[in-house]
Amino acid sequence: MRPTSGITLGGRFQLTSRIAIGGMGEVWRAKDQILGRIVAIKVLKEEYTGDPGFLQRFRAEARHTALLNHVGIANVFDYGEEDGSAYLVMELVPGQPLSSILEHEQVLSPDRTLSIISQTARALAPAHAQGLVHRDIKPGNLLITPDFRVKITDFGIARLADQVPLTQTGQVMGTAQYLAPEQATGQTATGASDIYSLGIIGYECLTGHRPFSGESQIAIALAQVNDAPPPLPESLPTPIRALLMSMLAKDPKNRPADAIKLAEAAEAIRAGDIATAHAAVPGMLLFESATGPITAPTDIATAPTGIVTSPYGREARSTSTSALPVIGAAAAGAAAVGLPPKVEIRWPVPMPWPPNAAWIRPTSTTRTSMKKRSTRSKSRRGRNAARGRGRSSR
């Protein structure tokens, strides 16, 4: 059954207008004819209803969200399957996703960024307490209401720690730009994985760009595993930079201990109480030691953002010089963020999945370009060695 205005699902939910179309389905505004309230209904696309894997994940979103009761998580009211359709009845959240806000505003103030981090962390805390990891925290899954409240959505690929995962062994699910290193390498996702993803969001809010980019999904995932994030602009207060870098530590053990501690630290920084922030997230001190001690409270509300003016007349995001000492800066930076040795990711054959939950896999183009880069690198090394032999003979 194709969703259209006027039809009724489950004998009670009358569709009135379509809100959005995604890779996996459509979201409709509907009226609950029994309770009289307005709800949102996500209807799975027809081409996916015959796929047991898609149906299983769709049902999982209903089950996972039903386990949670928090003001920061969009409620799920009902689930149904009817005439070849599957649908999810959810709370209709006024506002827009953070991804739309960032597309329009590009950069948010430190105060707003810390508020988003603290609210999201507090909403994740009860999920993590029940062993439920979201696994796809990204701006598109954070709804911001007109009064600046955060609502987390889409627990479709979330996983309970004590359950068999919905994906096959070795498969990677999530969105590459926000994927934690342990997820990219096929390790078990934990609450610390969600904290890392939230750190990527915080970085993007403050600078207008994500810390890792690449020409393909696999290139981005490899950067998440192997590369240190570019330093945040020195114009940002040190406590904020320290908190974000602790969230982006490669080793999960070096990130904030849990979502509640992260929320406490973010709220303390907003209030100028740096000592409380340090107590909540001691890992901040690793990064602050490289920039010098904080001698006075920071006015977060008036702190500048990470945007700098480009000499080419366009807005550019700052990649200011690292505050780490010049000698041994690379090694010190790697140690601070807990960088592991270089890692090669072996990607399995993926199952199809809509773009909002990107599968990461190498393509023939990726492999060809990597081979070309390797050939060019060897060629350069050969030319440099030849020059060196020429100089020594003279």
Q: Look up the CATH number of domain 1-92.
A: 3.30.200.20
Helix (H) or strand (E) holding 104: helix 98-105
Helix, strand, or coil (residue 72): coil
pLDDT in tens, 25-62: 889 999 999 999 999 999 988 877 778 877 887 888 78
| Rounded Cα–Cα distance for residues 173 and 189 (Å) | 10
- Return the pLDDT at 299: 55
**Angle, nearest 10°, between helix axes 191-207 and 110-129?**
170
Residue 337 has pLDDT above 50, yes or no: no
When the pLDDT of each residue in the chain is averaged and rounded to a whole number, the result is: 76
The catalytic residue among 51, 83, 111, 136 is 136
Helix (H) or strand (E) holding 182: helix 181-184
Task: Out of 137-141, 155-159, 310-314, 382-386, give the one with best mean pLDDT.
Answer: 137-141
- Return the pLDDT at 321: 26
Which residues, at least 6 apart from 63, have a Cβ–Cβ distance to it below 8 Å?
Answer: none
Helix, strand, or coil (residue 328): coil
Residue 213, classified by CB atoms within 10 Å of its CB into exposed (0-12), middle (13-18) or buried (19+), is: exposed
* Residues 66-88, mean pLDDT to the nearest whole number: 89
> Same fold for the domain at 1-92 and the one at 94-289?
no
- Return the pLDDT at 205: 98
Helix, strand, or coil (residue 372): helix
| Rounded Cα–Cα distance for residues 213 and 161 (Å) | 30
* Residues 204-211, mean pLDDT to the nearest whole number: 97
- Return the pLDDT at 47: 79
- Return the pLDDT at 262: 98
Whether 299 is catalytic is no
- Return the pLDDT at 49: 79
- Return the pLDDT at 163: 47
| Rounded Cα–Cα distance for residues 335 and 140 (Å) | 32
- Return the pLDDT at 382: 53
Contact call for residues 205 and 104 (beta carbons, < 8 A): no
**Regarding the domain delimited by 94-289, which CATH topology (the fold level of the hierarchy) does it fall under?**
Transferase(Phosphotransferase); domain 1 (1.10.510)
- Return the pLDDT at 257: 95
In the numeric block, the tokens 């009226």 are attached to 31
Q: What are phi and psi of 210, to 5 degrees?
A: -85, 155
The DSSP code sequence of 231-273 is: PPPTTS-HHHHHHHHHHT-SSGGGS-SSHHHHHHHHHHHHTT-
| No. of helices (H) and no. of strands (E), the chain | 13, 13
- Return the pLDDT at 29: 97
| Rounded Cα–Cα distance for residues 204 and 190 (Å) | 22
- Return the pLDDT at 311: 26
Higher pLDDT, 391 or 364: 391
The DSSP code sequence of 214-228 is: -SSHHHHHHHHHH-P
* Residues 149-154, mean pLDDT to the nearest whole number: 93
Residue 286 has pLDDT above 80, yes or no: yes
Residue 354, classified by CB atoms within 10 Å of its CB into exposed (0-12), middle (13-18) or buried (19+), is: middle
- Return the pLDDT at 343: 41
Helix, strand, or coil (residue 142): strand
- Return the pLDDT at 308: 33
* Residues 240-269, mean pLDDT to the nearest whole number: 97
- Return the pLDDT at 211: 96
User: Domain extents for the chain?
Assistant: 1-92, 94-289
Percent of the chain past pLDDT 70, that is, above it, reads: 68
Joined together, the tokens standing for residue 360 give 């990461």
pLDDT in tens, 374-392: 444 445 445 555 555 454 4
| Rounded Cα–Cα distance for residues 243 and 126 (Å) | 22
